[in-house]
């Protein structure tokens, strides 16, 4: 198990290098000017030219990138052009916000997705199944940013239940965090809830038809016991493998949701960095995010092995 984990981590290193090369390649193709972003829409061309010199943007992109790699190997991700702060510091400040939002979404996804899927499977072909699956289908078909906009109007403006967005640090005000994060988390999670509910239902139907479920019933196990102990333990295996996928989608899907709900997460940070041509931030941030995602995949694979004894022993 340990060897397996270490091997997976070793495999991640060349992938990270590739990630950074790809993002470098893309950035080399991106036209535009971070000075223009910094100067804002009312800046005059004259101010802009001077700002470019000030920021050292008149150097070639190649030499900027060389500087970046030089620093990278010293563990320094450089300074953001737009924010004027160290990339690593900003990324470390922001990622907990995104990760906590993604985890909240994940909790919503798992609770709602699993229970909708399980209920639908248990009431297979009854009206509850139909309603649940219609809900799941709508979930996977509605664009999340649109859902976010509509939710703001509904829950903030008309009903006044939830704030329009923003971010409240969890440890300062858990209730405030909960209120502020609910709409973004829900609009992020909606599609994943749909996907998970559909996956859970089909897996559950498959598992409920297995011989070992019959065995469990033949032992006199009650229906809840059959579902929870015998069926769920098997349903969870494919579910866990998609959870990694879901979490990475939640983390990257947050670009647009974070923008709409004014959540200062890593998604909004990198989205703005790309739109603002903040090259050091894009490079450093993407490597960081890719590393997190790769790590997440490793965790999921290890978790998968732990859940499925057939894989574990091999």
Partner 1 sequence: MQKEPILRVEGLRTTFTGDEGTVVAVDDVSFDVNEGEIVGLIGESGSGKSVTALAIMGLLPKSTSQVTAERIMFDGRNLARASDREMRRLRGGSIGMIFQEPMSSLNPVLKIGDQLIEPIRIHERISYRAAFDRGVELLTKVGIPSPVQRMNDYPHQLSGGMRQRVMIAIALSCSPKLLLADEPTTALDVTIQAQLLDLLLEIQAETKMAIVLITHSMGVIAECADKVVVMYSGRIAEQGPVTDIFDRPGHPYTKGLMQCTPELTGNPRRLTTIPGALPSLSALPPGCRFAPRCGLAQPACEAGRPPMIGVGQNHASACIRADELVASAAQPEGAEV
Partner 2 sequence: MSSLEMNDSRSEPSFLSRFFEGRRVRRLIRHRSFMIGLWLCLFVTVIAVLAPVISPVDPNKMAIRSRFQPPSFEFLLGTDNLGRDLFSRVAWGARLSLAIGLGVVLLNAVFGVLLGALAGYFRRLDGILMRLSDALMAFPSVLLAIGIAAAMGASAMTAVISLAVVYIPRTARILRASVLQVNELEFVNAARAAGAGDFHILRRHILPNCMAPLVVQLSFVFAYAILSEAVLSFLGLGAAPTDPSWGIMISEGRSYIREAPWMTVIPGMAIAITVLGLNLLGDGLRDVLDPRVKMEH
Partner 3 sequence: MTHRNSKNRLRGLLVAGAMAVAAGPAYAELCGHVGGDLVLGMEAKLGTLDQHVNAANATRNVAMNIFETLMTRDENMAPILDLAASLDVSDDKLTYTFKLRPGVKFHNGKPLTSADVAASFDRYSRIGVDRSALGSVDHWETPDEATFTIILKEPQASFLESISASTVPIVIVPSEQASAEATRLEPIGTGPFQLEEFVADSHVKLKRYEGYKPNETLEGMSGFAGRKQACVDTVTFRTLAEPGARLAALETGEVDIVEDVPTLSKERLAGNKDIVQTQLKHAALWLTYPNLSEPPTDNLKVRQAIQAAMNLDEIMDAMSDGSYSLNPSFQFPGQTYYSEAGSQYYNQNDPEKAKALLEEAGYNGEPVKLLTTRDIPRLYTAAVVMSEQLKAVGINAELVVLDWPTALGMSVNETKGWNFFYTGWITVTAQGGAQSLRNLADPSNVHKPKDNKSDAEFMKEFQILSTSPDLEERKTAFAKAQERVFEQVMAIPFGVTPKNQATRANVKGYVPFFNTRVSNVWLAE
Contact set with partner 2 (CB under 8 A)? 14-16, 18-19, 22-23, 26-27, 29-32, 137-138, 140-143, 145-146, 149-150, 152-153, 157, 195, 198-199, 202-203, 238, 242, 245-246, 248-249, 251-253, 255-256, 259, 267, 270-271, 274-275, 282, 286, 289-290, 293-294
Question: DSSP state, 165?
Answer: S
Residues paired with 152 in a beta bridge: none
> Does position 127 bind partner 1 by CB under 8 A?
no
The answer to whether the CB of 295 falls within 8 A of the CB of 248 is: no
* Helices within 30-164 (DSSP H only): 34-39, 45-55, 61-72, 87-108, 114-122, 127-141, 144-151
Residue 268 interface partner, choices partner 3, partner 2, partner 1, none, CB cut-off 5-8 Å depending on type: partner 3
Instruction: Figure out which of the listed residues 14, 25, 45, 75 binds partner 3, where binding follows CB under 8 A.
Output: 45
Task: Choose the binding region for partner 1 from 98-106, 212-220, 256-264, 270-278 (rule: CB under 8 A).
Answer: 212-220
Q: At 83, which helix (H) or strand (E)? A: none
Angstrom distances, CA of residue 289 to CA of 28, 263, 278: 20, 17, 16
Compute how many residues bind partner 3; rule: CB under 8 A: 56
Closest CA to 49 of 31, 62, 36, 32: 36
Residue 122 interface partner, choices partner 3, partner 2, partner 1, none, CB cut-off 5-8 Å depending on type: none
CB under 8 Å to 196, separation ≥6 — which residues?
Answer: 109, 110, 113, 114, 117, 239, 242, 246
Residues within window 209-238 making contact with partner 3, judged by CB under 8 A: none
The dihedral built from the CA positions of residue 140, 251, 82 and 16, taken in this order, carries a sign that is negative
User: In angstroms, what is the minimal distance from the CB of 95 to partner 3?
Assistant: 13
> Does position 233 bind partner 1 by CB under 8 A?
yes
Compute how many residues bind partner 1; rule: CB under 8 A: 25
What's the chain's length in residues? 314
Structure tokens at 279: 């090259």
| CB nearer partner 3, residue 116 or residue 281 | 281
Closest CA to 55 of 34, 70, 29: 34
The answer to whether the CB of 132 falls within 8 A of the CB of 112 is: no
Task: Choose the binding region for partner 1 from 41-49, 131-139, 184-192, 219-227 (rule: CB under 8 A).
Answer: 219-227
Task: Choose the binding region for partner 3 from 224-232, 267-275, 295-303, 304-312 (rule: CB under 8 A).
Answer: 267-275
Chain positions contacting partner 3, by CB under 8 A: 31-34, 36-51, 54-56, 79-85, 90, 93, 149, 152-153, 156-157, 160, 163-167, 258-264, 268-269, 272, 275-277
Chain positions contacting partner 1, by CB under 8 A: 124-125, 210-212, 214-222, 225, 229-230, 233-234, 237, 307-310, 313
């Amino acid at each position: 198990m340990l060897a397996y984990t270490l091997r997976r981590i070793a495999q991640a290193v060349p992938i990270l290098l590739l990630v950074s090369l790809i993002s470098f390649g893309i950035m080399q193709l991106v036209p535009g000017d971070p000075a223009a972003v910094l100067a804002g829409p009312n800046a005059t061309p004259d101010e802009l030219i001077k700002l470019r010199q000030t920021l050292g943007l008149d150097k070639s992109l190649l030499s900027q990138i060389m500087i970046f790699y030089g620093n990278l190997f010293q563990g320094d991700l450089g300074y953001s052009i737009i924010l004027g702060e160290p990339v690593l510091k900003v990324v470390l400040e922001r990622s907990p916000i995104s990760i906590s939002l993604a985890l909240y979404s994940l909790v919503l996804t798992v609770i709602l997705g699993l229970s909708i899927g399980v209920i639908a499977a248990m009431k297979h072909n009854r009206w509850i199944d139909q309603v649940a699956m219609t809900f799941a289908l709508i979930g996977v078909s509605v664009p999340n940013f649109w859902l976010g906009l509509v939710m703001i109007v509904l829950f903030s403006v008309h009903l006044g239940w939830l704030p329009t967005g923003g971010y409240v640090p969890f440890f300062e005000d858990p209730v405030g965090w909960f209120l502020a994060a609910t709409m973004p988390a829900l609009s992020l999670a909606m599609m994943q809830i749909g996907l998970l509910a559909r996956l859970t239902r089909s897996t559950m139907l498959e598992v409920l038809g297995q011989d070992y479920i019959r065995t469990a019933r033949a032992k006199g196990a009650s229906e809840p016991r059959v579902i929870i102990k015998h069926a769920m333990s098997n349903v969870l295996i494919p579910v866990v493998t998609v959870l990694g996928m879901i979490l990475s989608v939640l983390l990257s899907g947050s670009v647009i949701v974070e923008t709409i709900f004014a959540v200062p997460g890593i998604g909004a940070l990198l989205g703005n960095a790309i739109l603002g041509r903040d090259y050091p931030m894009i490079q450093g941030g993407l490597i960081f995010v890719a590393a997190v995602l790769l790590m997440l995949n490793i965790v999921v694979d290890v978790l998968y092995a732990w859940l499925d004894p057939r894989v574990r022993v091999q």
